[in-house]
A and B are shown apart, each in its own frame.
Chain A
């Protein structure tokens, strides 16, 4: 177990302990913010697999997120069973859909690819709005069911949702940490940095990208299932919209693409900003919270495209440099 692992496990231990603090347990809004942070960090991390490590900036992940959410929703609302099979089916469907639509899309580059992913989100959004089997524009409203892990629903307290989100978080971050250290991670990065070069040394770039996409979509769909269970309602504008797709991208880019901690850092900044700005100023109705959100995005992307992690690593390397110079001058005399 190296140092990084130790830090990681210690961090998780802290996260497990947080709800035990009474001040946190009583504050339902803070609980909500923490759950959202974990959820969006997980969502962005799933995007990171293909968007950060794979270098394919896709604005289409809300489609997979939505399929997962609908999986859960259909199971509970339409068939009256527990959400788990629905989420599983939704996640597998999302992975399949991801592979089918990515295969032609991976031939596109740069903006063509990005706009293709926009187009896909819009198409799915509008189709789901018309599709009566999934509720269409009316959406799926959850009925009152028994609380508990079986139905993954709780009405009074947020603590169980928090632990559910934490499990999802540990799972997805764990997978990405594993990817980063194993072959598939190296293949992905190689393809990102130079597809032809990678292919020339025998990497099957199409297979690598499609695998990454499938995993990414599967995990995004799991997050979608959680979202549906948390909000007790699913409709296309909530889960399959461009707004949601942008969140996947923005949080990761703000935090730092292609890094393990990037999505977490991004979520730690954007989610409290979004929620507390709305809580404090949303009532004024002027969209002030969204303006601040927009300004923050502009500032960060303009100043440091590698995101917060980029800023941190700059600071660290500068500190190291200064230390190195200090040691040198000390030694040299």
Chain B
């Protein structure tokens, strides 16, 4: 029985990390109907920043996430200004494709500058430690990242639902032209959203070097899983993205143990297809 609960814990922790990465995508998609293909590469860039800070000035990831988050906030705004803004008037998927190009550029730029070497931080505050409760263990790096994830998701949810900014964002999501007529500066809102999206994935990337190795391709699988989580959660639903991410984490963990580890990701993608067959707009989408 302990194995069952251990797997559940593993799954939830992994799911929370997925959630942190997904929430940013969900924000942009729900309001601008844009999916950023380069999202995984933002994660990778954030991880590199956190790694370099850790390696050069011995700043622990538990602090360097601030730097990663800020950098990716700016990166998000730049991406909006230079690329996404111009795709908004075009066909629906053009931003996806344009950001695919961006992803190639970022990934190969990092390959070029940082070389393909695998970088791992030797000593971090959280690395290798765990909390043991009964027969179960909770790995500390994943636990802390998971807690950050929940906090960030709820902060964003709070902003959207309870603040004036959030109402402005929802207004834009519902009807862009009407919002503009009401005096809302949609351009600024979009830029802010892209920045927030970058910041979320930047925070995730800032914390991950506590236990993951950094290399140019590290963001790829996270990115695909984030796409699946965001689409499963549904258009316009932050909590949906969170639920979907947790579900994906659990399914991955249980499928990986009770079926076979090699089917882990097949099960995740299969889950998505099953969910959208019955709910074509995702679990909570509108």
Q: Do A and B come from one complex?
A: yes
User: Which residues of A are interface residues toward B (Cβ below 8 A)?
Assistant: 57, 104, 107-112, 114-116, 118-120, 122-123, 126-127, 130, 242, 246, 249-250, 253, 286-288, 290-291, 293-298, 301-303, 305
A110, A118, A246, A297: the one within 8 Å of B224 (CB):
A118
Alpha-carbon distance between A116 and B272 when the two chains are bound, in angstroms: 7
Decide: B231 and A123 in contact? CB cutoff 8 A.
Answer: no
A110, A296, A303: the one within 8 Å of B92 (CB):
A110
For this complex, 13 residue pairs linking A to B, each with C-beta atoms less than 8 Å apart, are A108-B276, A111-B96, A112-B231, A112-B235, A112-B280, A118-B228, A118-B269, A250-B97, A287-B108, A291-B108, A297-B97, A298-B98, A302-B83
> Which residues on A sit within 8 Å (CB–CB) of B265?
122, 126
Decide: A115 and B272 in contact? CB cutoff 8 A.
Answer: yes
> Which residues on A sit within 8 Å (CB–CB) of B42?
none
> Which residues on A sit within 8 Å (CB–CB) of B94?
253, 301-302, 305
Give the most central of A126, A253, A287, A294: most B CB within 10 Å: A294
Assuming the contacts A118-B227, A290-B108, asked whether A297 and B98 have C-beta atoms less than 8 A apart, the reply is yes
Assuming the contacts A111-B35, A122-B224, A295-B105, asked whether A116 and B262 have C-beta atoms less than 8 A apart, the reply is no
Task: Known A-B contacts: A249-B97, A287-B112. Give 18 more (CB < 8 A).
Answer: A107-B280, A110-B92, A110-B93, A111-B96, A112-B231, A116-B272, A118-B269, A123-B266, A123-B269, A130-B263, A250-B97, A290-B107, A291-B105, A294-B100, A294-B102, A294-B104, A298-B101, A302-B94
Over the window 87-115 of chain B, the binary record of Cβ atoms lying under 8 Å from chain A Cβ atoms (1 yes, 0 no) is: 10011111011101111110111011000
Give the most central of B29, B101, B272, B281: most A CB within 10 Å: B101
Assuming the contacts A111-B35, A126-B265, asked whether A104 and B98 have C-beta atoms less than 8 A apart, the reply is no
Chain A residue nearest in CB terms to B225: A122
Chain A residue nearest in CB terms to B103: A294
Alpha-carbon distance between A114 and B94 when the two chains are bound, in angstroms: 12
Decide: A293 and B104 in contact? CB cutoff 8 A.
Answer: yes
Decide: B87 and A301 in contact? CB cutoff 8 A.
Answer: yes
Decide: B100 and A115 in contact? CB cutoff 8 A.
Answer: no
Chain B proximity of A163: nearest CB distance (Å): 33
Decide: A286 and B112 in contact? CB cutoff 8 A.
Answer: yes
Give the most central of B231, B265, B281: most A CB within 10 Å: B231
Decide: A114 and B96 in contact? CB cutoff 8 A.
Answer: yes
> Which residues on B sit within 8 Å (CB–CB) of A290?
104, 107-108
Q: Is B134 at the interface (CB under 8 A from chain A)?
A: no
Alpha-carbon distance between A286 and B98 when the two chains are bound, in angstroms: 22
Decide: B228 and A301 in contact? CB cutoff 8 A.
Answer: no
Alpha-carbon distance between A303 and B85 when the two chains are bound, in angstroms: 11
> Which residues on B sit within 8 Å (CB–CB) of A296?
101
Q: Is B282 at the interface (CB under 8 A from chain A)?
A: yes
> Which residues on A sit within 8 Å (CB–CB) of B98?
297-298, 301-302
Assuming the contacts A116-B276, A296-B101, asked whether A305 and B90 have C-beta atoms less than 8 A apart, the reply is yes
Decide: B227 and A291 in contact? CB cutoff 8 A.
Answer: no
Assuming the contacts A287-B112, A291-B112, A298-B101, asked whether A119 and B262 have C-beta atoms less than 8 A apart, the reply is no
